Amino acid sequence: MAVVTRAGAFLVDVAVEQARTDAVQAFLSQETVFVELGTDDGGTGLGYSYTIGTGGSSVVALLRDHLLPRLVGQDSRLVEAIWRDLFAATRATSVGAITSLALAAVDTALWDLKCRRAGEPLWRVAGGFGARVPLYDTEGGWLHLGTEELVAGAKAAEAAGWGGVKVKIGKPAAAEDVERLAAVRAAVGPRFDLMVDANQSMTAAEAIRRAAAFAALDLCWLEEPLPADDVSGHARLAAATPVPIAVGESLYSIAQFRDYLHRGAASIVQPDVARIGGITPWLKVAHLAEAFNVDVCPHFLMELHVSLVAAVPNGRYVEHIPQLRAITRTEMTVENGRAVPPETAGLGIDWDRDAMDDRRVS
């Protein structure tokens, strides 16, 4: 058997590696929620999710008070059944961020356990499509950075053989966004992907206006231009511009992705494994997008998403934002400009338990 006999949750606070700002917020710290499982046959699994500064203790409380007691005694091999059971037990708080983040910490731990038991890396167990995935950079594109810094970051990414860079937009004047983006485009030329991210800061009317202003820049995508619950606004925007519209980091259920895809409101989906509730629903979103002939370019969590993008046929990009180096012993491998999923059994993240303990939040 593989019955869960031990389940614990703890919180680790990881400082950001550099200042990160966008049109609506600053990313100051990563509250990282961990779930550790043990089974009666000696198996172990370690999973995680995160917030960017608030709510981590609430996720841990939901896990400790409600989800983990329910998990003990269940067969860890029945990943789908466990996910559905825990989700059903939280109907009063779902669909929503706190519940999804808690479910993700459990689900990633179960997948870690599953892959370790199989002696295989996540990217093969989850699908096994390709062992190299394209990479683009966001770390050099934050809103507070000056134009010269944006250009330097883009040229460095291009020189490293990466596929593109993402620049944050949402300056008070559209002209300032255009000037910054035009400088980056001029520096890297037409064959390098240039993405932009508005972080839900615009109205539909303003997004349509700015998309028109960006027309000559040949953008790869315009990300989160409107509030995530404004599906109709995204549909109007998608119909008004040839720029592909990307959404997903702020969606918390498969059904929300279905609505976007059904209405033609998204050309690229960006599920975040922590925010969608784990690997189990992440894969369902990816396969749903494949049915609509839409690419998957997940948000953040590159150390985990590199394996999931490699698992599915419509995985297009991994986003480069390093954030776990303070609590891991190794970094994501990049070869010839492409990210390489780990070959070690499990999630493939080499956690530094001493460093994690040093940053535990009591």
Active site residue ranges? 168, 299
CA–CA separation, 285 and 248 (whole Å): 10
Backbone angles phi, psi at 304, to 5 degrees: -100, -40
Cα angle, residue 161 at apex, residues 155 and 165 outer, rounded to 5°: 50
Q: Which of 46, 270, 124, 18 is nearest to 260 (CA)?
A: 270
- What is the distance in angstroms between the CA of the first residue and the CA of the last residue of the chain? 34
The separation between CA 188 and the C-alpha centre of its own chain, rounded to angstroms, equals 26
Give the 3-state secondary structure of residue 362.
Answer: coil
**Contact indicator for 118, 345 with CB cutoff of 8 Å:** yes
CA–CA separation, 297 and 341 (whole Å): 15
CA–CA separation, 110 and 347 (whole Å): 10
